[in-house]
Amino acid sequence: MGDNSAIEWTDATWNPITGCTKVSPGCKNCYAERLALRLRAMGNPRYRAGFKMTLHRDQLDLPLRWRQPKRVFVNSMSDLFHEAVPESFIRDVFEVMISAHWHTFQVLTKRAERVRRLATLLSWPSNVWQGVSVETSRYISRIKYLLDVPASVRFLSLEPLLGPLPDLPLDGIDWVIVGGESGPKSRPVNTEWVRDIRDQCKGAGVPFFFKQWGGRSPKAGGRTLDGRLWDELPAARQQALPFVGNVTTTASAIVASPFRLGRLSAGGSHRT
């Protein structure tokens, strides 16, 4: 649970919580569940409980030990806003994100109602990006809840994309990620669904990141759309980003820098 991630839109994962329960069709072939069960079978002590929700208090300070700035995906193996995660623990996670100001934290949830409910009780520094997952138009209301969250960057993860999303409410959204499902039971994504989302993003001026077509493995179908990669990143609303030692990061530098592609091979779809 740490440094280096195979997920194309992040640098590292941080899992102070592991395990989750399913809430919607996008969860059906949850990558985190498959990986957790595999890690338990391999005897990994962090996954003794398999995919049962577990707090790992000793992992809370991990980002504070990473000195170089990273994009950190928070809870790639769970959902921070799962109903069983105590409010006090969520606050502790936010305290770490506030203290580790040199990193950018990417928090993604399917529990959009809970993040909105708790939003006023939490502090939202500019280095915390909040996203929601939406897999079909039935779950578009998650976006409405996200729009009430005062995060500096609000983003959508439309993965695994399981249907068309013709009317995305993109006003107030800073970034859209799209991906097809991967894994042995992956459900196919339709090219027209992806094109339509890209075109909506272009029309609204929202950065669009196409992660993968999916298939048996994350890389099986490649990740080009209409002959090119789509690796756009959000322009953080707050221009001044953290300074660490002699490393300065600015919003424009983040926009300009390419994502670290092609690292590792083991990673699948992200979850949540």
Long-range CB contacts for residues 116-119, cutoff 8 Å, separation at least 24: 116/145, 116/146, 116/148, 116/149, 118/81, 118/87, 118/90, 119/148, 119/149, 119/150
Q: Are residues 231 and 201 in contact, defined by beta-carbon separation less than 8 angstroms? A: no
Please report how close the Cβ of residue 213 comes to ligand SF4 at its closest, in angstroms.
Answer: 19
Burial (Cβ within 10 Å: 0-12, 13-18, ≥19) of residue 155: buried
Q: Which is nearer to ligand SF4, 36 or 176 (CB)?
A: 36
Q: Which is nearer to ligand SF4, 109 or 127 (CB)?
A: 109
Please report how close the Cβ of residue 269 comes to ligand SF4 at its closest, in angstroms.
Answer: 9
Please report how close the Cβ of residue 179 comes to ligand SF4 at its closest, in angstroms.
Answer: 13
Please give the single-letter amino acid code of residue 73: F
Q: Which residues of 201-230 are buried (b: 16+ CB within 10 A; e: fewer)?
A: beeeebbbbbbbbbbebbbebebebeeeeb
- Strand bridging mode 128-133 / 104-109: parallel
Please report how close the Cβ of residue 227 comes to ligand SF4 at its closest, in angstroms.
Answer: 31
Q: Which is nearer to ligand SF4, 33 or 232 (CB)?
A: 33
Q: Are residues 212 and 182 in contact, defined by beta-carbon separation less than 8 angstroms? A: yes
Q: Which is nearer to ligand SF4, 22 or 237 (CB)?
A: 22
> Residue numbers of the site for ligand SF4 (CB under 6 A)?
20, 22-23, 26-27, 30, 32-33, 78-79, 110, 271-272
**For residue 31, what are the CA distances in angstroms to 117, 182, 254?**
27, 8, 28
What CA–CA distance (Å, rounded) separates 89 from 104?
Answer: 20
Q: Which is nearer to ligand SF4, 47 or 230 (CB)?
A: 47
Please report how close the Cβ of residue 247 comes to ligand SF4 at its closest, in angstroms.
Answer: 32
Please report how close the Cβ of residue 94 comes to ligand SF4 at its closest, in angstroms.
Answer: 19
